[in-house]
Structure 1
């Protein structure tokens, strides 16, 4: 009970850390809406009574999906160049602009290239946000609640995906952009409340601003807490200075090939490959098509919304337990569960071709609920938390950016190929491929993944 209270997000000293997390995650919620918007919208714009002046074919659908990856790649590269030079706050402001533009493009779409550009900007927002938001949160959060706060990134994305599913299912095509553009505007205004992170300001030798930031995020601004605040801040300053002395030499390629760095890159590579080749992100983007291919009797849009709710429950589960049981156990349970669930899904759809399984055609929905739940307790829910914590301090920003660039390339490839795999391989073989990828990831994590719970963000 004592540990649960110490790690509570509702303590007075962590109140502003929670507020900052909620504010910066407005944009990840908005990104989720952009991701979730696609699946039900594809159903609408493929019909003869499309709300647009054009319809889309299979090749265009695969490009619509994969443009997210190309946009994410550009967002990663942009933030990699700016995050240490311009600071976390500037990067947070920056990502509001492309997100606002994507809804303008969706509203004005007169051909499929408008939608390509909108998906590209959606990917740019996500690729940039997935780098800067976890780093920002990890630098303002106490170590005891860092896991819970950082996992809120994917919780807000999943909430946004569910909202995107619902809005694009039940509202007219041209109404959704008016609602979507509210989020970048409110996000930009709300960010005016937040100071830059103390570790970044200390690296820039801005001591007064760093101390004010430190006291703000720990709610230590009254006279009674001033002495304790100064002591805590001095400990932080000493740790940052010691780390700077240790890493005083300019960053070079040799820093990327040290043993801790290579172990971090190996783990991040497997994490990225497992996340994408297990198919869980592709499932989110093409959920309606999966349910069509599985023969489920449940309305595809209703099933998609149910899955959106399950994702939120899964990520919320990871938020509760990540700082209690640790990262490694959640990742092991998640990858094993996805592997088993995808095998079962593939077996059902395979045998349904030869046997009368109409009495069990509710099973694809149940299996997809299971797959998405276990994916979100680990592989999705704490993906970026684990990614940030894998690397030594000196290379953390660069290595995280490199890893997310690799992720973006994988996103482009998997979202481009997934609808083609469904069409040419069939649902069963596609699900078995996903299962094999998830189980190989489980095996690597079981043998090699290190626990990072409680790891310092300013010391190796």
Structure 2
């Protein structure tokens, strides 16, 4: 008994020394790495998120345009506009399922090249549209491409990048200020076209190549990504060692493994909570929201919000590996919670006949009819609230769930687990987007935003208690965390 007690600290000390040696080897290796071509490959892949950012944002400037046109074959009613905005999420859900299959069958690189095609074909159909069904078909196709992209790009980046530099995403629809719906569709087809060309010259991920038994090709890919001075055989050995632990194919019994069901639960809940912030409904209907808020130029306001999204997504990409995932998620959730509460207050103060003398009386009021002329000194609150919400989302809950999804799954369930997460995300995106106007009618504008504010508060609580910090950890160390053991 005494022998055991004495040996435990010695074993722990020996294990810690071994981990320190592994870490020092890893640091020495990473110090020799050159990231130039890794950034190039990441840029090529990030054109995918940029493309589906255009898809999501396209409806905001396009819907008002399509509701104003004189061509009755294409003019959208309120219900048709609702379907035009939300049908893309049905395609994205199908794309998520398709992506989970093809990413394992043909690899990450070819999957990215494949998803450029429905992007291009979808926008081509919209450009050539002669009736509503062609508009819907184009949106579904671009949705399928978005679903595949949202699954494959995080996997591609996480499997290429080392732990010092993982994490990037972005989207923009700033051209909506200057272009009508048809020319905007032409512009939106450019990023996937460029991505298709660039990806021809990028490598497959080393982890996928190792899983296919292609050691030599994996070393060549690592030499491309890490530069000529890095001893890529060392990293290849580490990936191969981890792959041997994951040789078995997925079966239902694996759902009893904490290394599978814990990350699956975290990934699905993060995707669910991301959509329950109301982000896609707000992005789809941003211009309409500003019009309802009586902002004088809703188009300009929408573009300002879009620019805010781009800037803060870039900031998130820069600081993600310094600040950590949890910190950004918590700050993001708090910012969204407060901004949506403020937006709800704005709509409540805009009640017809409501004075600005008392916030308490506004909150206790029962009516919610929006006046034709709200207090002009409060118009800034609509734009400020939306800007802070988008900045908060872009800083954390926008890119981080996709990044965490790409980091937490074991290799053997990475495609299936990611597909389940993407399907959850886009299913709830459809539900929230399609029911957004109904919620506004049922709960009033103020009540809808207050509901989303409460859900953002739940995001913060979930992050604190359940989301692991993955900053600075290898994919193998993250998987060891879920299994409740230290990585070797």
Q: TM-score, normalised by structure 1?
A: 0.88
Corresponding position of 1:428: 446
Distance 1:183 1:348, change over 3 A: closer
Match of 2:57 in 1: 36
Cα distance in structure 1, aligned partners of 2:164 and 2:48: 25
* Equivalent position of 1:322 in the other structure: 320
Residue 162 of structure 1, aligned match among 174, 199, 216:
174
Q: Which residue of 1 aligns with 2:131?
A: 111
Could you list the per-position Cα deviations for residues 69-94 of structure 1 after superposition, in whole angstroms to 9, with x for gaps in the alignment?
Answer: 11111111111111112111110111
Checking the alignment, whether the CA contact within 8 Å between 1:14 and 1:217 is kept in structure 2 is: yes
Name the counterpart of 1:26. Answer: 47
Cα separation, 2, equivalents of 1:445 and 1:68: 29
Q: What pairs up with 1:21-170 in 2 under 5 angstroms?
A: 21-47=42-68, 49-50=69-70, 53-147=73-167, 151=168, 153=169, 155=170, 158-159=171-172, 161-163=173-175, 165-166=176-177, 170=178
Aligned length: 429
Q: Deviations over 1:273-327 (max 9, x none)?
A: 2211111222111101111222333x00000000001101211121121111100
Is contact 1:44–1:51 with CA below 8 Å preserved after alignment? no
Instruction: Kindly indicate whether residue 286 of structure 2 is the aligned counterpart of residue 278 of structure 1.
Output: no
Between 247-256 and 395-404, the greater mean CA deviation after superposition: 247-256
Aligned counterpart in structure 2 of residue 181 of structure 1, from 186, 189, 205: 189
CA distance in 2, matches of 1:52, 1:184: 31
Q: Distance in 2 between matches of 1:250 and 1:392?
A: 11
1:287 paired to 2:308: no
Offset of residue 12 of structure 1: 7.3
- For residue 426 of structure 1, give the secondary structure of its aligned residue in structure 2: helix
Cα displacement string for residues 365-393 of structure 1 (whole angstroms, at most 9, x for unaligned residues): 01111111111100003221122223334
Equivalent residue, structure 2, for 1:415:
433
Q: Is 1:301–2:321 an aligned residue pair?
A: no
- Is 1:342–1:432's contact at 8 Å kept on the other side of the alignment? yes
Q: Secondary structure at the match of 2:35?
A: helix
1:320 and 1:182 mapped to 2: Cα distance?
25
CA 290–173 in structure 1, closer or farther in 2 if over 3 Å, else same: closer
**Structure possessing the higher relative contact order (Cα contacts under 8 Å, 6 or more residues apart):** 1
> How much does 1:52 deviate?
6.4
* 1:339-350 pair list within 5 angstroms: 339-350=337-348
Q: Residue in 2 aligned with 1:406?
A: 424
Shift of 1:200: 1.1
Cα deviations by residue, 1:167-191 (Å, 9 ceiling, x for unpaired): xxx2233333433333333222221
Alignment of 1:374-385 (within 5 A): 374-385=392-403
Distance (whole Å) between structure 2 residues aligned to residue 50 and residue 24 of structure 1: 39
Task: Indicate how the Cα distance of structure 1 residues 397 and 54 shifts in structure 2: closer, same or farther if over 3 A, else same.
Answer: closer
Is the Cα–Cα contact under 8 Å of residues 13 and 218 in structure 1 kept in the other structure? yes
Aligned-partner Cα distance in 1 for 2:444–2:70? 27
RMSD: 2.0
CA contact (8 A) 2:263 2:408 kept: yes
Structure 2 CA distance, aligned partners of 1:189 and 1:12? 26
2: CA distance between counterparts of 1:322 and 1:50?
A: 47
How far apart, in 1, do the equivalents of 2:186 and 2:74 lie? 21
1:19 shift after superposition: 0.3
* Residues 147-169 of structure 1: per-residue CA shift (max 9 Å, x gap): 3xxx2x2x2xx23x333x33xxx
Do the aligned partners of 1:45 and 1:52 also contact (CA within 8 Å) in 2? no
| Alignment correspondent of 2:246 | 247
Q: Which has the larger radius of gyration?
A: 2
How far apart, in 1, do the equivalents of 2:338 and 2:183 lie? 40
